[in-house]
Amino acid sequence: MKAITIREPFQVEVVDMPVPQPRTGEALLRVLYCGICGADVASFTGNQPFTTYPRIPGHEFSAQIVSVPENDRGLKPGDVVTCNPYFNCGHCYACQKGLVNACEDNQTMGVQRDGAFCEYIVMPVERIIPGRGLDARTLALIEPFAISCHALSRCEIKPGSRMLITGAGPIGLFALLVAKAKGASVTVSDVLDGRLEKAKSLGADHVVNPTACDLTAETARITGSRGFDVCVEACGQSVTFMSCIACAAQGANLILIGNGKRETTFLHSILIKKELNVFGSRNAYTRDFNQLIELTASGQVDPTKLISAIYPMEDAPSAFDALTHNDGSLEKVLLRFSDPRE
């Protein structure tokens, strides 16, 4: 079979390797579509601290079951599915408490272990998530969508809640879709006007470019000087985290999705003064995947609006190059390995 490997930073190759053989409790899957995640791009550029080389990237994917052992979940050959790609150890303190998404020895496909950028992979049956009739392209978007869904499950979001999302990259935009489905009034902040236009097309009630106007002043205008009930940090930047604190209402909830690479220094008394709740968010649960599949199948959300380009798997080097030089116009880029319609 063909597989895509990052040999070392800035070297992506399409290589030949044996088709994997499933072990007890595993299914053989034919990969259909894969999304290129920011973590994959970081591995490509050498900025992913958890990646060793060579590495097969990829954890956002759809696949078709080739073979599967007898199971009580109704899974059978031919089914189009997605999978939970976060492997947890099962015995650390986090796992014992049920926080499998925050396992102390988490191994995400494509990062700490080889991923799905192959024509075939094997997966434990319990990690396979039925697609419930969704097409392969849509299912390849469920994993990053689930990241945002899980983040917004960290606190209560009511109809009419005023929310600020800083960062209109894919995770921020997926958070927007979830928030609108919950009935929130959402303001999106980003420094790229093209991304703000996309946010507006996806239902954002307000958009703000903080390089063109004062975000704090806009917050006062939009919220009647109350501040936002929920602030979602989806950039991983110190300045956006501080913006969330400044724009938060008294007693607001702050949700951190963006993975920061630099320290943030601030006077923590502001958290006390406003009595803010700060929630970290990591990965997602299988229930988040299932919830989104149901939500998407019902027509309440359409994640495919975020697809910017689809490359054949042989053109993976070009896809990685395009994302490395992304000017903000690319949201989700997919690789096509196969298509059940072909």
Domain at 332, CATH number: 3.90.180.10
Domain boundary, last residue among 256, 280, 304: 280
Quote the tokens at residue 256: 């951190």
Q: Is 247 left (phi over 0), alpha (psi -120 to 50) or beta?
A: alpha
Specify whether 103 is located in the same domain as 207: no
Which pLDDT does position 259 carry in this prediction?
83
What gap in Å lies between CA 174 and CA 199, rounded to an integer? 10
Specify whether 104 is located in the same domain as 169: no
Which pLDDT does position 24 carry in this prediction?
96
What gap in Å lies between CA 232 and CA 271, rounded to an integer? 15
Specify whether 112 is located in the same domain as 193: no
**Quick one: the chain helix, strand, coil %, rounded to 5?**
30, 25, 40
Which pLDDT does position 105 carry in this prediction?
96
Classify residue 324: in a domain, yes or no.
yes
Specify whether 108 is located in the same domain as 51: yes
Specify whether 130 is located in the same domain as 170: no
Classify residue 269: in a domain, yes or no.
yes
Classify residue 342: in a domain, yes or no.
no
**216-244: average pLDDT:** 96
Domain boundary, last residue among 280, 307, 322: 280
Residue range(s) defining the domain that contains residue 256: 155-280
Specify whether 47 is located in the same domain as 84: yes
Specify whether 9 is located in the same domain as 53: yes
Q: Burial of 24 by CB count in 10 Å (0-12 exposed, 13-18 middle, 19+ buried)? A: exposed
- Say yes or no to pLDDT of 265 above 90: no
Number of domains present in the structure of the chain: 2
- Say yes or no to pLDDT of 150 above 70: yes
Which pLDDT does position 263 carry in this prediction?
86
Which pLDDT does position 88 carry in this prediction?
97
Classify residue 341: in a domain, yes or no.
no
Specify whether 162 is located in the same domain as 265: yes
Classify residue 15: in a domain, yes or no.
yes
**Tens of pLDDT along 65-118?**
999 999 999 999 999 999 999 999 999 999 999 999 999 999 999 999 999 999
Specify whether 291 is located in the same domain as 276: no
Specify whether 130 is located in the same domain as 200: no
CA torsion angle for 140, 199, 215, 261 (degrees, to 10)?
20
- Say yes or no to pLDDT of 261 above 80: no
* Cβ neighbours of residue 58 closer than 8 Å, sequence gap 6 or more: 4, 34, 36, 37, 40, 109, 110, 115, 116, 117, 118
**41-70: average pLDDT:** 94
Specify whether 13 is located in the same domain as 133: yes
**Tens of pLDDT along 3-35?**
999 999 999 999 999 999 999 999 999 999 999
Which pLDDT does position 260 carry in this prediction?
80
Which pLDDT does position 342 carry in this prediction?
62
Classify residue 313: in a domain, yes or no.
yes
Say if strands 11-16 and 332-336 run parallel, antiparallel, or are unpaired. Answer: unpaired
Domain boundary, last residue among 280, 301, 318: 280
Which pLDDT does position 25 carry in this prediction?
96
CATH value at residue 231: 3.40.50.720
Sign of the C-alpha dihedral, residues 124, 129, 132, 135?
A: negative
Answer yes or no: are the C-beta atoms of 35 and 57 closer than 8 Å: no
**167-188: average pLDDT:** 97
Classify residue 306: in a domain, yes or no.
yes
Q: What whole-number percentage of the chain has pLDDT above 70?
A: 100
Specify whether 135 is located in the same domain as 13: yes
What gap in Å lies between CA 319 and CA 325, rounded to an integer? 10
